[in-house]
């Protein structure tokens, strides 16, 4: 089963197998095996994009030696996938959260309006 995470490159739908991080202080781009969790300052890449990555002039690219392989799905990923499938298969929609009662008074520039059913 392929990884749930996809390549970060725009328009690429391939599964991610590598993670790109930058060490700005060293002017280095590091392409290594896929991180266990998605980080906000890193990028997930498919194998093609991981192998073709170039860096700006004056920067060094450090790559993982060996082949990139899609990681085995963890039990957390399988649980999340099972929950998503169960939720999609539900015939009755989940109950809507209760709306607060409308107030007739005005506070500042904001007002609460009653919801529509």
Q: What is the pLDDT of residue 1?
A: 45
In a domain, 48, yes or no: yes
32: left (phi over 0), alpha (psi -120 to 50) or beta: beta
Is 112 inside any structural domain?
no
In a domain, 30, yes or no: yes
| Residue tagged 């498919």 (tokens) | 46
Q: Is residue 110 part of a domain?
A: no
Domain hosting residue 62, numbered range: 1-89
In a domain, 68, yes or no: yes
114-to-23, 39, 102 alpha-carbon distances in Å: 51, 40, 5
Q: How many domains does the chain have?
A: 1
Q: Percent of the chain scored above 70 by pLDDT?
A: 56
Read off the pTM: 0.56
Does 32 fall in a domain?
yes
* pLDDT tens by residue, 27-72: 999 999 888 888 888 999 999 999 999 988 999 999 887 777 766 6
Q: Which H helix or E strand runs over 86?
A: helix 75-89
Q: Give the whole-number percent of the chain exceeding pLDDT 90.
A: 33
């Amino acid at each position: 089963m392929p990884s749930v995470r996809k390549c970060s490159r725009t328009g690429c739908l391939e599964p991610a197998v590598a993670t790109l991080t930058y060490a700005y202080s060293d002017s280095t781009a590091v392409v290594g095996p896929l991180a266990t969790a998605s980080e906000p300052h890193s990028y997930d890449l498919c194998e093609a994009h991981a192998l073709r990555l170039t860096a700006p002039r004056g920067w060094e690219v450090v790559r993982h030696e060996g082949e990139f392989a899609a990681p085995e799905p963890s039990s957390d990923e399988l649980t999340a996938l099972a929950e998503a499938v169960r939720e999609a298969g539900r015939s009755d929609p989940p109950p809507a959260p209760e709306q607060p009662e409308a107030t007739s008074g005005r506070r500042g520039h904001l007002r609460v309006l009653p919801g529509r059913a």
